[in-house]
Amino acid sequence: MPFCTADPNLRNDWLTVGAASQLRAAPAAHPVPARLLGNDLLLWQNDAAAPHCSADGRALPIISRYGYLWVHTGDGPAPALFELPEFAQPGRRIVDCGGIGVATSGLRVVENFLDMAHFPYVHTGTLGKVPHTEVAPYRTAVDAASGEIWATECHFFQPRASASAGDGIDAHYRYRVMQPFTAALYKTCPNRAGEWDVIGLFVQPLDDEQVIAHVLLVYDEDVLLDAEMIAFQHMIFGQDKPILESQRPRRLPLSGPLEAHMRCDLTSSTYRRWLRQRGVTFGVHREPGA
Amino acid sequence: MIRLYDYELSGNCYKLRLLLHWLAVTYERIAVDFHPGRAHKSAWFMQNINPQGQLPVLDDDGFVLRDAQACLVYLASRYDPAGHWYPDDAQTRGRIQLWLATADDLTRGISAARLHYSFGYPADIAACERQGHATLRLLDDTLAENHCHGTRWLAGGAAPSIADIACFPYAALAGEARLDLRRYPALQAWIGAMRHRPGFIAMPGIIDPAL
Amino acid sequence: MTTRCDWFPALPAQALTVANTVVAASVCGQDLALWRSASGSVQAWEDRCPHRGVALSLGRVLGDRLACAYHGWEYAAGDGRCVAIPAMPHQPVPGKVCVKTFAAAECQGMVWVAPAENPPAVPPPVAATDTTPHFLRSIAIAVPWAMVEAALAAHDFTPAGPCQWRGAWAGHDRLLLWTLDASADWCLLHVASAAPPPQAQLPGLFGALRHLRERLQIAAGT
């Protein structure tokens, strides 16, 4: 079975197939199945715990970074994977929140991750609260060297910004889009002033309209148990899920009259323009006849 | 102090969180790493908390009880002196028992499909869909017919009972099992009625009307 | 067979009597969000917010407005125009942001919807009764509309107007039925009684309806 897209944005880059820990009990004789771009993959590790991957009987390059497995499905050389320096910082708490399936285009999942205006309505009482609904102006830019999107100077009033937050705070955010299907947010750390907690979103596209959204926490946190941090993250994601799954069309429109754009949607319009400029077609809505 | 072994995204755990909230009983929520950790299947959990390896589990000062429906009966019996949630008369109790059993059908159908789509659990999806629709149809039929007999609740009466709490979460989460509620208007009305009860609290996946 | 017309019997109006209700419905393959504004008028909107395409049936009724569940954008009953964007509370809302609305009319206890670009020239058909019918239930049958119509014809019901039937069944003399072509593979059958229904006979009628559903679905293999 071939991959369901030839889009070079996907085929030439690394795509995640989930946590590296899934290979712990997966020798070559008992590989773990995974699905990517409409194709069935097999993953295993050899005696030296090096990951391996095959699809259609062919070996595919696979690496393990940030506790996740990344596969290259294209023919040419793969670019370097994005950097996440906080991952290796001493004292950081790394928590893999696992992958949750969502029936929508991965581009919708990333766009939702970049949005603050929904906080008071979808994450009521935690990440936002009516009447603190206004999104103050912030900046977006595409970094010339890396080609990544950065949104900076974002902030939003949050009654309970994280699992360990006590009182409401004006949380500061920075957003980063590394690939069409990977993003990170950097937010005010309630425990240490001046530090950023990092949440990584790595979307595994099963096909144009089905994904597994993996979330990685790279936090400054000493007290909470993993289960408590995961519970908070799953609460947030679980609240987003019915919204994401009700969006029509499922695939993301990059232009045209289907959806309205306002100034408060700056990360969304930046992201869509960036996808258009890169010529992304996978997971993108096309008008019939277009 | 009641301790509830709990997972944020579990509809079965939410049933107890909802009833405990409506009963205004304080409790301690113990987060169990259901996913990705599968802590409920760990040796420690199965030896010390629940040999069935399932959530929720209730520990009320040493009285340990598993199974969401059993816990609903216990909590209503122990903490609801007015008897609203588990009324004392034989006919109502008989009806409630029927719906507690239906709640297991919802777990088998809708919850199983939801676990498959969300967490990759193996499932016979076609069977889950058939079971899911069959149970939703039963609920819709009952609620539509009950309405003509003057009640909007599963076990009859002027107010919801634990029968309604037992069946509510997975019916309301049917969308995550890829089942559309458009064809069940009476069921939609009942879901709306539950969500608009004073003091309602939601769970992720069920939209809270209050902001 | 009854005739079709521009109007479709979407739901009994009593489904929209409880405040703050938004019903997810389907008429002729068009997904709709049905709701009633505080001033009482019934609304049939495309179930899709023009901002990010989220289902409006997940939203909240705020008086004469419907607010989307995603970002709280508020749309006015009537023309569906966006009148509030909470993320930008101090800027005027652009005039062109609007939900796609359909003509909806409440007539003798039934909500009729015309899922067409332009509202029909004629009002919805009146029921073959001089009083508001007593609605009993709506039942979904997972077969095409024509199959339900054929079954009612074979059952000795008489056509009483577009998508409407009348007749006697299971101890009820003056039944009224409306068939809604919800989508290619399912219908909604609305059942009412022109006179106050004998309570003791209701279980028999309900059983007969369920049996009809089972029989048709088995025949259609659904």
- pLDDT tens digit sequence for C83-137: 999 999 999 999 999 999 999 999 989 999 999 988 888 888 887 677 789 999 9
Q: How confident is the model at residue B186 (pLDDT cuts 50, 70, 90)?
A: very high
String of DSSP letters for A181-214 = TEEEEEEE-SSSTT-EEEEEEEEEEEETTEEEEE
Q: Are B34 and B55 in contact (CB under 8 A)?
A: yes
Domains A8-72 and A85-284 agree in fold: no
CB within 8 Å: C21 and B189: yes
B contacts of C178 (beta carbons < 8 Å): none
C contacts of A262 (beta carbons < 8 Å): 85, 87-88, 94
pLDDT at B12 over 90: yes
Evaluate whether ipTM surpasses 0.85. yes
Chain C residue at shortest CA distance from B136:
C140
CB within 8 Å: A212 and B120: yes
- CATH topology for A85-284 is Naphthalene 1,2-dioxygenase Alpha Subunit; Chain A, domain 1 (3.90.380)
As a whole number, mean pLDDT of residues C147-172 equals 93
CB within 8 Å: C88 and A263: yes
Cα C76 from chain centre: 20
pLDDT of C221: 92
Q: How confident is the model at residue A230 (pLDDT cuts 50, 70, 90)?
A: very high
- Encode pLDDT of A270-279 as tens digits: 999 999 999 9
CB within 8 Å: A264 and C69: no
Domain ranges of chain A: 8-72, 85-284
Shortest CA gap C12–chain B (Å): 10
Q: Which residues contact A226 (CB under 8 A, 6 or more apart)?
A: A95, B33, B37
Q: What are residue B71's phi and psi, to 5 degrees?
A: -65, -35
> A210-219 and A93-102: which strand pairing?
antiparallel
- Encode pLDDT of A187-217 as tens digits: 988 777 788 999 999 999 999 999 999 999 9
Q: Alpha-carbon distance A130 to A134, whole Å?
A: 9
Alpha-carbon separation of residue A285 from A90, A253, A256, A290, B32 (angstroms): 43, 5, 10, 10, 39
Q: Alpha-carbon distance B131 to B113, whole Å?
A: 10
- CATH code of the region A8-72: 2.20.25.680
pTM here is 0.97
pLDDT at B183 over 70: yes
**Is C58 within 8 Å of chain B by CB?**
yes
Bridge partners (DSSP) of residue A252 are A284
Closest listed residue to residue A201, CA positions, set A223, A233, A225: A233
Q: Which two tokens stand for residue C98?
A: 């609007």
Half-sphere exposure of C64 (CA within 13 A, CB side): 9
CB within 8 Å: C50 and A120: no
- Encode pLDDT of B28-48 as tens digits: 999 999 999 999 999 999 999
Shortest CA gap C35–chain A (Å): 18
Strands (E), B56-143: 57-60, 63-66
